[in-house]
C-alpha cells in the first residue's frame, strides 16, 4: 500500500470530506489520527470503517483554535502511532453567509481562527518531527470560492484567501527538509450539507460546471492521497482545484 508505515493526521474528520479523506488514507496504509469537534459527525464510525478495511485509526476531539488542545491531541496520537508524517488541514469554522454591510470584524476573525489559526497550531505541532525525518506532507483544504466569489461569502473567502499565502510561504521555508506543502481546493461537493440545499441549487451549480456535475468527496480525497504519496514528490506550493472546471476564468 502506498502509505504503508506512514502516520496521517486529518482535522475536521468526523464527517463530510474530512471523514472520506481519513478513510482513503487509512485504506492506503496510513495509521490515521482523526480530529473532530465534540458532538460533530460520527468519528467512531469512521474509525470502525478504517479498522474493518485492515487499517488503524483513533479519533481525538480538540478545539483547534486552542494551542493546548492541539498539542495534547498531537501528543496522544503520536504516542499511539509514532511521528506524524502527513497533515491534512481540513477543518473550517461553521459558515454563516452575510453581506458585507451585515458583517462585524468578529465574523471575519472567526473564520480566520478556524482556517489559519487552526492550521498554524497543527503545523507547529508536526513540523519538528517531519524535519527530523527529512520527510513530510502538509495538504491544506481550501475553496474555489476565492476565485469565484459568492454573495455573502466575504468572511469565509478572506480566510481561505489567506490560506493560499500561508501554504506558499511554508512550501518555500520547509522544502529543504523534504517537506511538501500543497493545496487541494474543492468546489461545491456532494456532502450531506450540500445535498440538504436541494436539487435546484445543485442543478444550477452543475450547469455552470464544464464537466456538468458536482464533485464527490471521494474525488477530493483521491487528490489528497496524490499529494500525500510519493507520486507528488516534486510538487510543492501548488494549488489544485477539484471542481470540474467551475472556477475557470
Give the number of other CB atoms < 10 A from CB of residue 106. 8
Q: Which CATH architecture has domain 7-242?
A: 3-Layer(aba) Sandwich (3.40)
pLDDT above 70 as % of the chain: 96
Model pLDDT, residue 95 = 83
Model pLDDT, residue 49 = 96
Quick check: 234 pLDDT over 80? Answer: yes
For 163, 174, 183, 230, the CA distances from 237, given in Å and listed in that order, are 11, 11, 7, 16
Quick check: 244 pLDDT over 90? Answer: no
Which positions are annotated as active-site residues?
A: 156
pLDDT tier, 69 (very low <50, low <70, confident <90, very high otherwise): very high
Quick check: 145 pLDDT over 70? Answer: yes
Amino acid at each position: 500500500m502506498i502509505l504503508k508505515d506512514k502516520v496521517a493526521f486529518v482535522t475536521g474528520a468526523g464527517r463530510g470530506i474530512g471523514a472520506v479523506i481519513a478513510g482513503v488514507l487509512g485504506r492506503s496504509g496510513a495509521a490515521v489520527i482523526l480530529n473532530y469537534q465534540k458532538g460533530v459527525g460520527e468519528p467512531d464510525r469512521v474509525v470502525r470503517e478504517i479498522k474493518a478495511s485492515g487499517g488503524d485509526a483513533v479519533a481525538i476531539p480538540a478545539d483547534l483554535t486552542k494551542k493546548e488542545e492541539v498539542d495534547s491531541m498531537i501528543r496522544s496520537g503520536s504516542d499511539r502511532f509514532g511521528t506524524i508524517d502527513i497533515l491534512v488541514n481540513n477543518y473550517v469554522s461553521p459558515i454563516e453567509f452575510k453581506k458585507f454591510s451585515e458583517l462585524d470584524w468578529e465574523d471575519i476573525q472567526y473564520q480566520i481562527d478556524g482556517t489559519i489559526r487552526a492550521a498554524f497550531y497543527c503545523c507547529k505541532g508536526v513540523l519538528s518531527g517531519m524535519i527530523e525525518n527529512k520527510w513530510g506532507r502538509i495538504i491544506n483544504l481550501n475553496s474555489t470560492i476565492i476565485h469565484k466569489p459568492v454573495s455573502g461569502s466575504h468572511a469565509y473567502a478572506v480566510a481561505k484567501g489567506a490560506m493560499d499565502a500561508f501554504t506558499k510561504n511554508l512550501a518555500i521555508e520547509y522544502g529543504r527538509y523534504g517537506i511538501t506543502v500543497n493545496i487541494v481546493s474543492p468546489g461545491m461537493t456532494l456532502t450531506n450539507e450540500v445535498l440538504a440545499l436541494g436539487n435546484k441549487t445543485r442543478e444550477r451549480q452543475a450547469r455552470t460546471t464544464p464537466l456538468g456535475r458536482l464533485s464527490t468527496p471521494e474525488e477530493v480525497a483521491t487528490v489528497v492521497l496524490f499529494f500525500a504519496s510519493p507520486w507528488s514528490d516534486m510538487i510543492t506550493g501548488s494549488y489544485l482545484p477539484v471542481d470540474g472546471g467551475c472556477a475557470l476564468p
